[in-house]
Structure 1
Amino acid sequence: MTSAENTTVVMEKVDVDSAVVLDTDSIASSKTANANGQLDPGPPLIMDQEVVTLPFRELMVVFVGLMLGVFLSSLDQTIVSVCTTKIANDFHALDEIPWVTTAYLLTSTSFQPMYGKGCDIFGRKATFMFAITVFLIGSALCGAAQNMTWIILARGVAGVGAAGIMSTVMIIITDLVSLRDRGKYQGIIGSVFGFSSVIGPLLGGVFVDKATWRWAFFINLPIGVITMITVIKVLHLPHAMGSFKEKIGRVDFLGALALICGLVLILLPLNWGGSTYAWNSPIVIGMFCAGIVVMGLFLLVEWKQAAEPIIPFRLFATRTNCAVFATCFFLGMGFFSIMFFMPLYFQIVRQETATSAGLELLPLIVGLLMASIGSGFLVSKWGQYRPFIWIGLSLATIGTGLLSLLNVDSGRGMEIGFLFIIGLGIGFSMQTSVLAIQSSVATKDIAVATANATFFRTVGSVFGVAIAGTVFNNGVKNNLAPLIAINADVATVISDSYLAPSFGAEMEAKILSAYMMALRSSFHVCIPFMGLALLSSLMIGAHKLRKSAGPTPME
C-alpha cells in the first residue's frame, strides 16, 4: 500500500474527536487571519465528508426554487396588507385588524434566530423544508378561516414558517457557491423582495375586487409545492450527523422560550403604544419592563446554561460583526419605515387607491433591482464589498433626506427621482451587508451569523415603524387640532382620510397639508436611522472573498 493510500485510509477512518480537534485548529487559524484583516471562512470540517458542487444547470434549477421560496415569503407580506380590511369587514371585526399583522410579526420575528441554529443541528435542507411546510399549513388555514380568531392564529402559524425562509435560503447559497460568487446570487435573491413589493399589492387588489381575499393565501400553495419539489429532487446535501434524539438534545429549548417570551413582551407594546394604548400607560410600561427582564434571563441562559446557544456570544467578539449587526438594525429601521409611510403619502396626501400607491413605488423597486443585481456581480468580480455598502447607505441617507422636500403638490419627477435614489441605496447595501458577516466568521458560524443578521434587520424594522408611527400619529392629531376646533366633523378624517374632499376644496387643502406635515416629520425621523446605519458600516472590516468553488456544507 502506497503512502498516499495510507493517508486516504486514515482520513476515511478519522473519528469525531479528531474532527473536533481539527475544527478547533481551523477556528484558531481563522482568528489569526482575522487579526490581519484577511479572514477566510475556513475549510469544511472533516466530519463533513462530502462537498457538494452542483453542475451549473442543476445549480440554476435549485436557485430558481430558492427564489420561489423567497418570493413566496415576501409576497405574502405585501399581498395580505391590501386584503385585511376586506377580511375584517367579512367577519365583522374591524377592531381586530391590527392583530392579523401583529400575530404574523410576533412569530416571524421571534423564531428567526432559531433557524440558524436549526440549520446546524438538523441540516440546511431539512430546516428549509420545515419552514416551507409550516408556512404552507398556515396559509391553507388562513384561506379556510371562518372567523377572525381563526385567521389571527393561522397568521401566527404562517409567521413561524416565514421566519426561516429568507435566512435559510441565504445559508443554503453559502453551501453551493464560493464566498466570492455569493454576491451575485444573493443580489438576485434580494431583488426578488423588491419585485414582490410591487406585484403583491396589485394581486391583492385584484383578488379583493375580482375574486375573493382567500386567494391571497391559497396562491401560496402551488408556488410552495413547486419550491418543495424542486428542492427535494435537485438539492442533495450531506445529512446532518447524529440520531434525531441526539439532535433534539442539542436544541436550546430554554433559550428559545426565553427569547420568544422576551420579544413578544417588547414587540406588543411597540405595536400598541401611541395607538391602542398611550405610551405612558401602565400596560405598555409594564410589558416593556417585563420584556427587558426576560431578555436579560435569555442572555444569562445563553451565557451560562446553553451548550449550543441560539445567539452565540462569540459572534459579538469582533468589531466587524458588531458593526454589521448594527448596520442591519438601523437599515431595517430606515428602509421599512419608508416602505410603510410612502404608500400613506400616495393614499392620503395624493388621494390614490392602494393599488395605485403600490405602482407609485415602482421607481424605488427598479433602483433596488438594478443596484442589488449589479452590485452582486461587481462584488463577485472585484472581491470588494465595503465600497458598495458605503455608497449604498450614503445614497439611502441622501434619498431619505430628499423625501422631506415632498409636498402636497410635488411633481412626479421629484417623487420618481427621490425613490429611485433610495432604491439604489438599499440595493447596494442590503445584501452586501449579509456578505460582510459571512466573510467575517468561521465556517461553523455562517448559519447563525446569517440568521442573526436577518433577525437584527427585522427587529430594527419593528422599532423604526413604531417610532416613526408615533411621530406621525402625534403630528396628525396636533396638526388637525385647529381644524377640528373649527369643525368637529373633521375628526372623521383621522380614521378615513378619503373623506377629506367632502369638506370642500379649502378645508380639504388644509387637511391634506396637515397630513403632509405629519408625514414630513416621520421622514425626518428616518434620516438619522439611515445615518446611523452609514456610521456603523464604516467600522466593517475588509475580509478575503475566496474564489475557490469549495462550498462548506454543514449537513
Structure 2
Amino acid sequence: MTKEVGPQVSQPETKRHRALRLLKLALALMLPVFLETLDQTVVATAQTRIASQFDALSEQQWIGTAYLLTATVFLPIFGSLADIFGRYLALQLSTLLFIIGSAICTGSQGITPLIIGRAITGIGAGGLTSLARIILSDSGNLRDNNTQAAILSLLYGIGYSVGPIIGGSLAQANWRWCFAINLPCCVLGMGSSYFFLRHHPNPAAPPPGTTIAEKLQRIDYLGAFLFVTGGILLILGLSWGSQDEWSQAEVIAVFVVGGWLLVLFYLWEWFLERRVTHPHAYVSWLAEQPMIPAALFKDIDVIATSVITFGSGMLMFGMFYFVSTYFVIVQGYSQVQAGLVLLTFMPGLGVGVLVSRRVINVTKQAKYICIAGAVLGPVGAGLTGYAIVNGSTTKLYIFTAIVGLSCGMVIPSGAVQLRFTHRKDEVATVVALSMFFRTLGGTVGLAQMGAVLNAKAREYLTAAISSGQYTAQDISEAVNALASQGLIQSLPAPVLQLVRDAMTQGARWAFISLVPWLAVGPLLSVFMTRQLRFEEYQD
C-alpha cells in the first residue's frame, strides 16, 4: 500500500499536537468517566442502607439492576447516535439524562421512584460508558490507543478506589448525597465537553451537507425498539423468576416475548444490512443503516470478547455490590469500613492494566493476555466464595485483588483486540457492543446473585427448624428480617447469628454461581485472531 505524502511537519510539532490532543480528550472525558465509575461504587457501598431506609432490603438488588438494565439495553443505541450526530452531541445527551436520573433519586420518597431514577440514570450512564470508549478508540495508532487506555484506566481506578469510601461516608451522613453529588459534577462535565469536544472528528459521519431530517432518517427506530424491549423483558424475566417461581405464567411470558423480539431484531438488522448492498430491492423510507450489523455476530473476535467482557461485568459488579453487603450484614462493618475493604480491588486492577499494556506493546497482539485474564475470572469467583464461608477477611482481601487483576487484564486487551481487528468506520459499533456485554453481564450477574443469595438464605433458615434449636416463630422473624438491615440488627442474639450464617451461605453460593459463566470465556478466546491490523503504527 502506498504511503500518502502530506505537508512536511517537524517531529517536535507533531508531538506537541499529539500531546495537546490527548490532554483535551483527558479533560473532556475526565468527569463523565469518573462520574459513571464513582456512581457505581458509591451506590454499591450504600445500597444496603438505602434499601433499609424504605424497609426494602430484599429489593436492594433492583437499585443496581435497574441502573444496569437500562445502561445495558440503551448502550448500543448511543453507538449508533455517535455515528449519526457526532460524539459531542451524543455525550451531552448522555450527561443530561444522567442529571435527570440523579435528581429523581435525590428527591425520592420511596423505593419505587428511586428505582425509576436509577433506570434513567442508567440510560445516561450507558451513553457515557460507550462514548468514552468510542472517542478514545477513534485513533488508529497503537501508541495513542495505549496512552488513552492508560488515561481511561486511571480514571476508572480513581473512581473504584475512592467510590466505596465516599459511598460509605455519604450513606452514614445522608444517603441522598450519594445521588446529589452527581448534579454539579455533571454540569461541569457538560462545560468541559463543550470546550474540548465540539470539533472532535467523526470517522463515520454522514456526508457534508446532510440535514437534520436526513440524519434522523438514518436512525434504526424499529431495531432500537425491538432490541430495548426484548432486552428489558428478558432481564425482567430473569429477575422475576429468580425471586419467585420460574414456572409462573408472567415469567414464562416475558421470556417468550423477549426472546422472539430479539430474534426479530436480528432478522431486521440482517434485512437492513442487505438493503445497503442491494438498495434497488427495498423501499427507500426504511432506516439507512442497521443499529448493529448482523455480520458482526458471526465475527469470532466480537463473539469471544463479548463473552469475556460479559463475564468480567458479572464478576466486577458482583464484587462491589455483594462483598459490601456481606461485610455490612455478616461482619457488622460500617459502610465506610465496607468501602475500605473494596479498595483491595484497585491494586489488582492497576497491575492488570499495566501488565496488559506492556504485553501488547511488546508482542503487538492482545490475544494471550486476554486469555490469561479470562482464566483468572472463574478462579477469583470461586476463591471469593471460599473465603466468605471460611470467614477469613485476609483471604477475601487477597481474592478481591485477584478479581481486580483479572478485570485489569481483560478490559484493555479486549478493547485493543476489537479496535485493531475492524475497520475504522466499525469502531463505534464494535466498541459499543463490547461495553453492552459488560453491562449486560453486570445486570444478569446482579439479578442472578441476588436471587441465589435470597434463595440460599431462606433455604438455610427453613432447614434450621429441623435442628430443634429454633421455633417456627424464630424462623418467621428471621425470614421477615431479611427485608431490612435494621430489622436484622434488632433480632435476638441467637436468631441474629442464624441470619448471619444464612447470609454467609447465600453470599458464598452467589459467587459460585458465576463460575460456569466465567468458564466459557477462556475457551472461546483461544479462537481469537492473533495478528492485529494496525492502520498507522509507528515505532
TM-score (norm 2): 0.83
| Structure 1 counterpart of 2:148 | 185
Amino acid of the structure 1 residue aligned with 2:503 = Y
Q: For 1:471, which of 430, 449, 452 is the aligned residue?
A: 452
Question: How much does 1:408 deviate?
Answer: 5.2
Amino acid of the structure 1 residue aligned with 2:434 = A
Distance, in Å, in 2 between the alignment partners of 1:409 and 1:426 is: 24
Amino acid of the structure 2 residue aligned with 1:311 = I
Which consecutive unaligned segments of at least 5 residues does structure 2 have? 7-13, 273-286
| Structure 2 counterpart of 1:69 | 32
Amino acid of the structure 1 residue aligned with 2:29 = L
Distance, in Å, in 2 between the alignment partners of 1:389 and 1:456 is: 16
Amino acid of the structure 1 residue aligned with 2:246 = W
| Structure 2 counterpart of 1:38 | none
Pair 1:537–1:373, CA change in 2 (3 A)? same
Pair 1:214–1:504, CA change in 2 (3 A)? closer
- SS of alignment partner, residue 115 of structure 1: helix
| Structure 1 counterpart of 2:235 | 267
| Structure 2 counterpart of 1:118 | 81
Question: How much does 1:469 deviate?
Answer: 3.2
Q: For 1:385, which of 352, 366, 373 is the aligned residue?
A: 366
TM-score (norm 1): 0.81
- SS of alignment partner, residue 234 of structure 1: helix
Q: For 2:268, which of 289, 294, 301 is the aligned residue?
A: 301
Q: For 1:489, which of 460, 474, 480 is the aligned residue?
A: 474
Task: Provide Cα deviations, 1:202-246, integer angstroms capped at 9, x if missing partner.
Answer: 323333333x43332232133223322222222332464422111
Distance, in Å, in 1 between the alignment partners of 2:55 and 2:497 is: 33
Question: How much does 1:497 deviate?
Answer: 6.2
Q: How do 1:329-344 and structure 2 match up within 5 A?
A: 329-344=310-325
Does structure 1 conserve the Cα–Cα contact (< 8 Å) formed by 2:45 and 2:338?
Answer: no
Out of 389-398 and 97-106, give the one that drifted further: 97-106
Q: For 2:211, which of 211, 219, 243 is the aligned residue?
A: 243
| Structure 2 counterpart of 1:35 | none
Question: How much does 1:71 deviate?
Answer: 1.1
Out of 392-401 and 253-262, give the one that drifted further: 392-401
Out of 179-188 and 140-149, give the one that drifted further: 140-149
| Structure 2 counterpart of 1:424 | 405
Question: How much does 1:76 deviate?
Answer: 1.7
Pair 1:405–1:218, CA change in 2 (3 A)? closer
Pair 1:54–1:66, CA change in 2 (3 A)? farther
Q: For 2:524, which of 505, 515, 536 is the aligned residue?
A: 536
Q: How do 1:58-457 and structure 2 match up within 5 A?
A: 58-83=21-46, 100-145=63-108, 150-176=113-139, 178-210=141-173, 212-235=174-197, 236-238=199-201, 240=205, 241=207, 242-275=210-243, 277-305=244-272, 306-407=287-388, 410-457=391-438
Distance, in Å, in 2 between the alignment partners of 1:294 and 1:409 is: 44
Question: How much does 1:533 deviate?
Answer: 1.6
Question: How much does 1:101 deviate?
Answer: 4.3
Identical positions, percent? 32
Does structure 2 conserve the Cα–Cα contact (< 8 Å) formed by 1:65 and 1:226?
Answer: no
Question: How much does 1:196 deviate?
Answer: 2.3
Task: Provide Cα deviations, 1:94-146, integer angstroms capped at 9, x if missing partner.
Answer: 88766554543332222111111111111122211221222123323433446
Task: Provide Cα deviations, 1:434-486, integer angstroms capped at 9, x if missing partner.
Answer: 22111111111110000001111221222233333333322212222232452
Distance, in Å, in 2 between the alignment partners of 1:414 and 1:356 is: 17
Amino acid of the structure 2 residue aligned with 1:130 = L
Distance, in Å, in 2 between the alignment partners of 1:92 and 1:394 is: 40
Distance, in Å, in 1 between the alignment partners of 2:251 and 2:15 is: 50
The RMSD of aligned alpha carbons is 3.2
Pair 1:95–1:316, CA change in 2 (3 A)? closer
Pair 1:537–1:93, CA change in 2 (3 A)? closer
| Structure 2 counterpart of 1:18 | none
Question: How much does 1:422 deviate?
Answer: 1.7
Does structure 2 conserve the Cα–Cα contact (< 8 Å) formed by 1:471 and 1:521?
Answer: yes
Amino acid of the structure 2 residue aligned with 1:449 = V
Task: Provide Cα deviations, 1:380-427, integer angstroms capped at 9, x if missing partner.
Answer: 454232222122222233222322332556444322222222211111
Distance, in Å, in 1 between the alignment partners of 2:55 and 2:399 is: 40
Pair 1:92–1:523, CA change in 2 (3 A)? closer
- SS of alignment partner, residue 242 of structure 2: coil
